[in-house]
Amino acid sequence: MFLTDQFKEFDCDKCNEALMEDRGCAVETSIPIFEIEGEEYYRCPQTLLTIETRRSVGAFVLLKQGVLPTEGGWLEQAATFIDIVQVLDGHIETTMKKLREEEERKRSREQRKWQKKKR
């Protein structure tokens, strides 16, 4: 998923007391733990997720694997689920577009740098 790789290390089952302190599980840390779109966070990302958020993301992940939360097709799904899917899809699409653009800018810079060296 879009931010999964960034947060793979934040697995509560693998955390010990030292990591919990370093990652801001109980209280904010003095240095940022992670950043999203320029905004710094001083707590473990797991502490920021509500149970509803976790369930929504879980349902979205299952949807991407072809499993709907309710038996039947799209018309049988709850309106809130459809809303969640639209929000997450939109956010993922926007984030992926930004990542692709950033990668393209990086390639262009490297290509210009290489061409200058070539001269």
The answer to whether 60 and 69 are in contact (CB under 8 A) is no
Distance CA(59)–CA(46), nearest Å, equals: 17
pLDDT of residue 11: 80
pLDDT of residue 5: 60
pTM: 0.59
Query: What is the number of H-type helices and E-type strands within the chain?
Result: 4, 2
Distance CA(68)–CA(76), nearest Å, equals: 10
CB atoms near residue 59 (< 10 Å): 20
Note the pLDDT tens digit of each residue in 1-59. 445 566 777 888 888 888 888 888 889 999 998 888 789 999 998 888 888 888 888 88
Q: Compute the average pLDDT of residues 89-96.
A: 88
- Write out the two tokens for 51: 């149970």
